[in-house]
Structure 1
Amino acid sequence: MSLPSGLVPLRPFPSYLLHKTTFCLGYTCKPVRAASDNVLLLRAAEVSDLSAGFSAPHPNFGCVIAHGGEVVGEGFLYAQGTKCAELQAVEVAGELARGATAYLNMEPGDCHADPTPVASLVQAGISRVVIGIRHPLGHLRGKAINSLRSEGVRVEVVGEELSSKKLEKALNSCLVVNAPLLYRAAFHVPFSVLKYAMTLDASFLGAEFFELRGRSDAIVVGGNTVRRDDPRLTARHGGTHVPSRIVLSRSLNLPEEANLWNTNDAYTIVATQRGARKDIQEKLARKGVEVVEFDVLNPRDVMEYCYSRGCLSILWECGGELAAPAISSGVIHKVYAFIAPKIIGGRNAPSPVGDLGMVQMSQALNLIDVSREEVGPDTLISGFLQPIPDLSPAIPSIEEISAFDPTVSPFESKIISFYKTWDPFGSLSNFSPHYVQFPDECGEFYLWPTVEHFYQAQKFAGVNNSLAKELIKQIKCARSPEEAARIGRKMQREHPELVRRDWESIKVDVMYSALRCKFSLHPHLNALLRSTAGSVLVEASPHDLFWGGGRDGEGLNYLGRLLMKLRSEILEEVSADSIP
């Protein structure tokens, strides 16, 4: 018996990344009859991981709808700014969703201030919702649960209404699949994985492991790796996500020519000490490499910088000299060690981890939740250096605190920053999943999935060239705003002749028209924008110095400016309408 039309076939992925459910066989999933809450919630966690490698790391959401114990619908969030998992699942389930149970690996909240996940479940007639973990971000935590309950939906959370012991395996999978988000929320640095390969005599080997690269925002190496190996650090995992490359070098004693300086392959950042070799900095900048200076270069400050850029997951493929301080500073959370059945020997053979200052075995670091797996002729041992943060105790939101402590104000700051869609005020982002509508060349209105889709396509609008017209079609069909932006930026850089000649003079007007459309078509966004009255809006992009505010406020922040201009116009319209 096959799955109902539209159900997602699971692709196989390594068991050390997430446990597989017993009913998934290869690429085909068979329907589950009379399945327990544990099995169905486990499936929701597994489904939520299906976008890994195809889009930038983001909070993973999976939704499985079961009627009478049989799976009738499921969905997962492909990327930020795309259709939510809950809406996908109810669309597949159709009428079978009425009276059914929805299993969610995590409380809904892929975009701040977007009611779609909750509304989808309520309107479909879902009667019960089982949730693995509450949302770890304070501004989203508990909101969807409260909204569902206010609509009369029975909501049960593992560890609260449901026993965590009976659903231990499912709960563990829900935690693992969103470990990057949990670590980021708890420690204010991205989730960092150290990967290395070694022989039986502990000699260090370089090893490619593309699956992990595809799951990362960026890959970190040191200057020694660049000089010795000249790596490309491309993903080559079969997906479409391309992680950035980060090189840490205090002295900037780096070759003038290296594969990492080819930014057509991927974006490259070099982190260095303030004032180091300005001549090399200038040469790298001319090649399109971003150079970031730190007063004192160390792994923690670099990870805090990556946190400010919105990164969720970082992969360290560095040598032992950089791995040791990264571990010592507490920014490495998980280790993947590939052990080859070989012996190299040699007095000066490199070690995968340098000196940690430990002199006794009792000081050794013990891995937690260790797993072992045979990968070809090698053995993979993986485990956590720090346990996955336990954020299960209910943390009251700022609004709830204000209810019993009037001295606490939710509007303390006069600056509101936004960047990722799941951040507070993330709906202000051009990546938020809110369509805009504009007429096409034939005068017929077309729905663009996001502002970003529309904006990127307009770069090539009206150009009398078949390739330019094809690009517009590709951007229209891009599965996520991330992909739309990647296509638009890449083609603008590589084929400037395809970009309309007046683009630089009209791009601000194009953006403003898109924003006006977005905030007029979606009333709840209009209300959200009005609620920011009196605050400065800043798009917190650390690298887009035109639309964003930059890392240190050096950006022009045109997106924030346009939103404030639009807010002023909306408030004037509201004020005029209120005058009798």
Structure 2
Amino acid sequence: MVFTLGASLPILHANRLPTPVVSAAATTTNPSSNSSTSHLFEATFIRRAAEIADKSAGFTAPHPNYGCIITTSSGDVAGEGFLYGQGTESAELQAVQAAGERCRGATAFLNLESSDSPSDNTAVAALVQAGIERVVVGMRHPLQHLRGNAVKALRSQGVLVDVLGEELKSRAVEEARKACLLVNAPLICKASSRVPFSVLKYAMTLDGKIAASSGHAAWISSVSSRQRVFQLRGRSDAVIVGGNTVRQDDPRLTARHGGGHIPLRVVMSRTLNLPEQANVWDTKGMSTMVVTQRGTKRSFQKLLASKGVEVVEFDNLNPRDVMEYFHDRGFLSILWECGGTLAASAIAGGVIHEVYAFVAPKIIGGKNAPSPVGELGMVEMSQALELIDVEYEKIGKDMLVSGFLQPILDVAPVIPSCDETFAIDPTVTPYEPSIIFFYKTWDPYGAFSNFSRHPIHLTDENGNGCTWLTVEHYYQAHKFVGIDDPVARDCVEKIKSARSPEEAARIGRLMQRQHPKMIRSDWRTAKLDTMYRALKCKFSSYPHLKSMLLSTAGSVLVEASPHDLFWGGGRDGEGLNYLGRLLMQLRAEFLGQSTHRTVAPQSSIDEKD
């Protein structure tokens, strides 16, 4: 699922989150009510929590941004806290300490679900022990091993927990939730993409040049713009440039932003055609890494190592592999300050998420003057990449244009046919689901596939017993059962004797395409009952299969077929997932929780062939 920020909504960049204004109506409304005015109350303080969560930017290395606001029943702020960095006191504990006795019966607002694990439960414990009565959470934790833990732990202790977008839904809530997503965009990117969140920054003249034809580029942008760049560096784990930038500009890449965090300087060069003397080789106050192609200029690598520069070799140097390497090193945020060639490679590799373009009111001209982004292979304007949620900000004499090249991914699990799924099985909870995917017979839950070799024995319409090698054999044949035509009867026998379920499916689908009039007239309404009958026989006949099905109680079952939008869940959860739903219905029946039978669908989507 992707999450884009609507153009009509305020853009909440992580370095300039707005200060919320609490109206009198909001502060006097009962926070526990579910009115739209109350939602304004919750939204206001969640946005405030997101704002203070960003306070450590530049002072410590990028980390999950936590902010906590504690308010009394009258709406007064009793305490605040934010996570300063790894290994420091949690935001929740700081806020509790600041609020003191006023925590009793109070509400805590968290932009991000607390971190709660067997090794560290201090955040949740602080809230519970302080007597917090209610917790409002801006978003669940994006990391799978932490997602939902704190919400469950708090509720188990009798604390009322409301999560934005789940228990609370409104326009104001949606805007507040976006602030939470933005302030932790790097963490969400880590969870969803396994690469750090990357920002491409460049300064250019009004006619789109990043340097003169000679290569001279100091200075295009104003002092104010350069101060903003220092802030961007301070918010990053690493700053990347290419070899051309080192040769032409000899940058220091320092983060003179007033904070304590110093990012790693990274030079990306395939050939190592670099000067022996350069500002970035001075590692007294800042660390430098060079990433290059394996085996390139061993002697120069030794020279760099003697200067304290770390050299990392790649079999095939490219932005994607470098970003995956940085992800494995634990980096969350990367700033690219490279030239056009490397910028184009990074964009083409899909690793750039946001763009900061500083446009100076200058014109330099020059046919050979470089531009910010090199060749992308596009020949028509319709191929151009469009930024999402573009924002304009005047900085000194310059104009900063910023926006996203990729939407922020929402890592909430996608459940096909969500509402119908929860209606079928009451053991499944909508916002804390465990999802079990099955598809191939060799998967961990491959026995749920209709292709699994578990013969079933069922009586036919004449009361005669008949054995079918798989559920797929039975299902495909019953498209034609009862049709008084020798071709249809012959097809049923061919399907029944097919050596594999794949062959049975191929025969049935081919017959359906070539002779659509041979299909039972009631098939559209009968196919779900046919499938359910076969599944019930299969799981009733094999005790170990029934035990396996019952062991999944509370989990959503999804057939992970990327192309069958009727029986499967589809590639992105857009499928109807009827096979998974029938299995959950059967599970509920076995558990004695349901005797409901699925009715025939009215959807225009049909199963694959």
Please classify the TM superposition score into its range, dividing by the shorter chain length.
0.5 to 0.7
Looking at structure 2, the residues matched to 220 and 116 of structure 1 have their Cα atoms a distance apart, in angstroms, of 37
Looking at structure 1, the residues matched to 147 and 77 of structure 2 have their Cα atoms a distance apart, in angstroms, of 27
Written as runs of structure 1 = structure 2, the 5 A alignment for 1:377-526 is: 377-393=397-413
Q: CA deviation at 1:19?
A: 2.9
Q: Please state whether the residue corresponding to 1:282 is helix, strand or coil.
A: helix
Looking at structure 2, the residues matched to 112 and 301 of structure 1 have their Cα atoms a distance apart, in angstroms, of 33
Looking at structure 1, the residues matched to 399 and 389 of structure 2 have their Cα atoms a distance apart, in angstroms, of 16
> Aligned pairs, how many?
389
2:153 to 123, 147, 157: 147
Q: CA deviation at 1:400?
A: 5.5
**Structure 2 stretches lacking a partner, 5+ long:** 1-11, 30-39, 212-216, 416-428, 446-609
Give me the CA root mean square deviation.
2.6
Looking at structure 1, the residues matched to 386 and 307 of structure 2 have their Cα atoms a distance apart, in angstroms, of 43
* Residue 398 to residue 145, structure 1, CA distance change in 2 (3 Å): closer
Residue type of the alignment partner of 2:15: L
**What CA deviation, in whole Å up to 9, does each residue of 1:234-291 have, x standing for no partner?**
1010000000001000000011111111111211110000110001000000111010
> Is the 2:116–2:124 contact (alpha carbons within 8 Å) kept by the matching residues of 1?
no
Q: Please state whether the residue corresponding to 1:311 is helix, strand or coil.
A: coil
Is 1:363 aligned to 2:361, yes or no? Answer: no
Looking at structure 1, the residues matched to 235 and 382 of structure 2 have their Cα atoms a distance apart, in angstroms, of 34
Which residue of the partner structure matches residue 17 of structure 2? 19
> Is the 2:20–2:47 contact (alpha carbons within 8 Å) kept by the matching residues of 1?
no
Is 1:45 aligned to 2:45, yes or no? Answer: no
Looking at structure 2, the residues matched to 194 and 399 of structure 1 have their Cα atoms a distance apart, in angstroms, of 36
Which residue of the partner structure matches residue 92 of structure 1? 98
Looking at structure 2, the residues matched to 124 and 278 of structure 1 have their Cα atoms a distance apart, in angstroms, of 60
Written as runs of structure 1 = structure 2, the 5 A alignment for 1:529-540 is: none
Is 1:224 aligned to 2:237, yes or no? Answer: no
Residue type of the alignment partner of 1:278: R
**What CA deviation, in whole Å up to 9, does each residue of 1:163-203 have, x standing for no partner?**
05331221111000000000111110000000001111101
Is 1:66 aligned to 2:64, yes or no? Answer: no
Written as runs of structure 1 = structure 2, the 5 A alignment for 1:555-570 is: none
**Structure 1 stretches lacking a partner, 5+ long:** 1-13, 25-30, 410-580
Looking at structure 2, the residues matched to 164 and 113 of structure 1 have their Cα atoms a distance apart, in angstroms, of 36
**What CA deviation, in whole Å up to 9, does each residue of 1:108-166 have, x standing for no partner?**
11877301000000011111111011000000000011000000001111111110533
Q: CA deviation at 1:408?
A: 6.6
Q: CA deviation at 1:23?
A: 3.8
> Is the 2:116–2:150 contact (alpha carbons within 8 Å) kept by the matching residues of 1?
no
Which residue of the partner structure matches residue 133 of structure 1? 139
Residue type of the alignment partner of 1:213: R
Q: Please state whether the residue corresponding to 1:202 is helix, strand or coil.
A: coil
> Is the 2:295–2:313 contact (alpha carbons within 8 Å) kept by the matching residues of 1?
yes
Which residue of the partner structure matches residue 551 of structure 1? none
**What CA deviation, in whole Å up to 9, does each residue of 1:324-352 have, x standing for no partner?**
01000000000000111111101111100
> Is the 1:401–1:408 contact (alpha carbons within 8 Å) kept by the matching residues of 2?
no
Residue type of the alignment partner of 1:274: R
Which residue of the partner structure matches residue 486 of structure 2? none
Is 1:290 aligned to 2:296, yes or no? Answer: no
Residue type of the alignment partner of 1:286: S
Is 1:214 aligned to 2:220, yes or no? Answer: no
Residue type of the alignment partner of 1:133: M
> Is the 1:64–1:102 contact (alpha carbons within 8 Å) kept by the matching residues of 2?
yes
> Is the 2:361–2:398 contact (alpha carbons within 8 Å) kept by the matching residues of 1?
yes
Residue type of the alignment partner of 2:278: A
* Residue 42 to residue 292, structure 1, CA distance change in 2 (3 Å): same
Looking at structure 2, the residues matched to 96 and 314 of structure 1 have their Cα atoms a distance apart, in angstroms, of 41
Residue type of the alignment partner of 1:65: I
> Is the 2:47–2:179 contact (alpha carbons within 8 Å) kept by the matching residues of 1?
yes
* Residue 16 to residue 97, structure 1, CA distance change in 2 (3 Å): closer
**What CA deviation, in whole Å up to 9, does each residue of 1:58-104 have, x standing for no partner?**
00000001112111101000001100000000110111111111000
> Is the 1:339–1:380 contact (alpha carbons within 8 Å) kept by the matching residues of 2?
yes
Residue type of the alignment partner of 1:44: A
Looking at structure 2, the residues matched to 320 and 108 of structure 1 have their Cα atoms a distance apart, in angstroms, of 41
Looking at structure 1, the residues matched to 444 and 70 of structure 2 have their Cα atoms a distance apart, in angstroms, of 40
Bigger Rg, which one:
2
Residue type of the alignment partner of 1:252: L
Which residue of the partner structure matches residue 240 of structure 1? 260
Is 1:320 aligned to 2:326, yes or no? Answer: no
1:55 to 53, 60, 68: 60
Looking at structure 2, the residues matched to 101 and 354 of structure 1 have their Cα atoms a distance apart, in angstroms, of 52
Residue type of the alignment partner of 1:202: G
Q: Please state whether the residue corresponding to 1:370 is helix, strand or coil.
A: strand
> Is the 2:140–2:148 contact (alpha carbons within 8 Å) kept by the matching residues of 1?
yes
> Is the 1:18–1:177 contact (alpha carbons within 8 Å) kept by the matching residues of 2?
no
Which residue of the partner structure matches residue 176 of structure 1? 182
Looking at structure 1, the residues matched to 231 and 259 of structure 2 have their Cα atoms a distance apart, in angstroms, of 9
Q: Please state whether the residue corresponding to 2:342 is helix, strand or coil.
A: helix
Looking at structure 2, the residues matched to 50 and 112 of structure 1 have their Cα atoms a distance apart, in angstroms, of 28
* Residue 72 to residue 398, structure 1, CA distance change in 2 (3 Å): closer
> Is the 1:80–1:110 contact (alpha carbons within 8 Å) kept by the matching residues of 2?
no
Is 1:311 aligned to 2:331, yes or no? Answer: yes
Looking at structure 1, the residues matched to 231 and 118 of structure 2 have their Cα atoms a distance apart, in angstroms, of 30
Which residue of the partner structure matches residue 104 of structure 1? 110
Which residue of the partner structure matches residue 89 of structure 2? 83
Residue type of the alignment partner of 1:168: E
Looking at structure 1, the residues matched to 93 and 434 of structure 2 have their Cα atoms a distance apart, in angstroms, of 28
Q: CA deviation at 1:369?
A: 1.2
**What CA deviation, in whole Å up to 9, does each residue of 1:280-334 have, x standing for no partner?**
0000001110101111110001101101100000000000010001000000000
* Residue 112 to residue 203, structure 1, CA distance change in 2 (3 Å): farther
Residue type of the alignment partner of 2:51: E
Looking at structure 2, the residues matched to 312 and 83 of structure 1 have their Cα atoms a distance apart, in angstroms, of 20
> Is the 1:164–1:171 contact (alpha carbons within 8 Å) kept by the matching residues of 2?
no
1:350 to 370, 375, 378: 370
Residue type of the alignment partner of 1:364: A
> Is the 1:18–1:173 contact (alpha carbons within 8 Å) kept by the matching residues of 2?
no
2:206 to 177, 200, 219: 200
Q: Please state whether the residue corresponding to 1:167 is helix, strand or coil.
A: helix
> Is the 2:113–2:151 contact (alpha carbons within 8 Å) kept by the matching residues of 1?
yes
Q: Please state whether the residue corresponding to 2:409 is helix, strand or coil.
A: coil
Looking at structure 1, the residues matched to 348 and 116 of structure 2 have their Cα atoms a distance apart, in angstroms, of 33
Which residue of the partner structure matches residue 185 of structure 1? 191
Q: Please state whether the residue corresponding to 1:156 is helix, strand or coil.
A: strand
> Is the 2:14–2:182 contact (alpha carbons within 8 Å) kept by the matching residues of 1?
no
* Residue 69 to residue 393, structure 1, CA distance change in 2 (3 Å): farther
